[in-house]
Amino acid sequence: MHQQIGTTDLQASRVVLGCMTLQQEPRAALATIHTALEHGINFFDHADVYQAGRSEETFAAIWQESPGLRDRIILQSKCGIRQAGEPDARAPKRYDFSRDYIVHAVEGSLRRLKTAYLDILLLHRPDALVEPEEVAEAFSRLEARGMVRHFGVSNHNAAQIDLLQAYLGKPLVANQLQLSLLHSHLINAGIITNQNHPPHAVRGDGTLEYCRRHRITIQAWSPLAKGAITGRLPDDADERTRQTAGLVAQLAAEKGVSAEAIALAWILRHPARMQVIVGTTNHERIAACMAANHVELSREEWYLLFMTGRGYPIS
């Protein structure tokens, strides 16, 4: 099952293979990529910091086996996170959206991926020192050189996107955000407006609505909550996690699908038409995740999952 990404002409699988944990052993990595392709995944998500760039290098081996593949898939990478100790020992871990660094980072990703262009570039984490004019200059340079086709962000709220967009010559097309049954804060923010419960702060108010309004595709990362609700219940799991895992397992049994399919279908059921990014290298789990495309959840089932995952009923 495919969908349009933002305002682009890209038709992408709703399930994305996240390449953060792609094996460094070439044969195993290639087998994972082929399995994803065989199950209909045509979208692969990278970042320059994944395994210090080695994930991108490992992925590039696919071109030798499938020379015509590049035109049939969508490659996305992210930049902006700089690790401690670079370029000198005193440098801390930080975020960097400066013009020169963005261009430099993309050049590195293209070199490691052995491709002439990225379909989408995302800015990885909000840079507190961002100068939107510099981002605009970097994007314009990358697009003019044919190095990046489309641009987006990751982990940005509505106000941060709006600030960047005011300086850009083309629309941002994606926003990659953490979202799962156990991390539903962005959805919850629209439910608890003007309520006293819960007492904890909910950040990112209006982000989902902003993205829907401006046709920015939301990409949910960690949609399976690191496996906590799909069969690998941690020994120290709290009651909320246990109840959520139990409900997911119950619905999976009723519908004859995997727990992964239920957890992902809950996100895909949202009218924002989100994508889900799965980082598994297990071939059976890739197939289990793809089954989410064919799961139908009623409104009642969706809200039951939502309330169980957040740990208390709605008012």
50: annotated active-site residue: yes
Query: Of 261, 266, 250, which is closest to residue 285 (Cα–Cα)?
Result: 261
Strand partners, 16: 277
In angstroms, rounded to a whole number, what is the distance separating the alpha carbons of residues 125 and 78? 9
Q: Of the residues 50, 101, 210, 303, which is catalytic?
A: 50
* Amino acid at site 75: L
In angstroms, rounded to a whole number, what is the distance separating the alpha carbons of residues 208 and 185? 11
Exposure of 84 in the CB half-sphere (CA atoms within 13 A): 3
Query: Of 228, 299, 294, 292, which is closest to residue 258 (Cα–Cα)?
Result: 292
In angstroms, rounded to a whole number, what is the distance separating the alpha carbons of residues 30 and 20? 14
- Provide the 10 A C-beta neighbour count for residue 292: 26
Q: What is the largest CA-CA distance in the chain?
A: 58
In angstroms, rounded to a whole number, what is the distance separating the alpha carbons of residues 281 and 312? 34
Name the CA radius of gyration of the chain, rounded: 20
DSSP 60: T
Query: Where do we find the tokens 């902003």?
Result: 210
Strand partners, 123: 79, 153
Determine the number of helices (DSSP H) and then strands (DSSP E) in the chain: 12, 12
Q: Which residues are catalytic?
A: 50
